[in-house]
Amino acid sequence: MKISQLAIHRLNNINWFVNLGVATTLPGVIQAQSLSLFIKGLNSDEWESATLEAGYEITGYLAKKHTNKYQYWNSLVKEAKKVVENDIIPKIIFPESEKGSMTENLKWDLVNYLLEDAYSSLLHEPFAFEGLINVYEAGHMPCGWSGTWPAGKLVIY
């Protein structure tokens, strides 16, 4: 098991945050209507819980159904964190006023995307973190969840 170079390449080709706050054409999402609501959502316990739950679904499934492959998880986490910290994040320009919150949320999403991608052949679609990457590719940022996970809708800015 290893982190996919294709997935890393995909992340390196994103034009980060070019449509923050701009009306979206992405289907099935709700758009935060202001910068303050974006920041509130980004820092909310509900959003943290939703992304944690998405991660737990992956690890729980792998631990039960693919025990042998799951034992590589921790080494893949280290590899994914290294890639995100050293290869992806330094290339991104964040809005200065919100850099801290955005950076931490983005790191979490990217590490989990790389892990989800590494195990994708063993998992069932839809892939939660790949869905978040689609939002980033559209120039927006995920910042919340409306409803109870997994039912509901993604909130973006």
Instruction: Give 94-111 pLDDT, tens digit per residue.
Output: 988 788 899 999 999 999
CA dihedral sign of residues 126, 39, 78, 52: negative
Q: For residue 149, how many C-alpha atoms fall within 13 Å in the half-sphere facing its CB?
A: 17
CA gyration radius for the chain? 15
CB 97 within 8 A of CB 20: no
CB 154 within 8 A of CB 135: yes
The domain segmentation of the chain, as residue ranges, is: 35-156
Q: Tell me the per-residue pLDDT of 115-131, one tens digit each, with 9 for 90 and over.
A: 999 999 999 888 999 99
Residues in the chain: 157
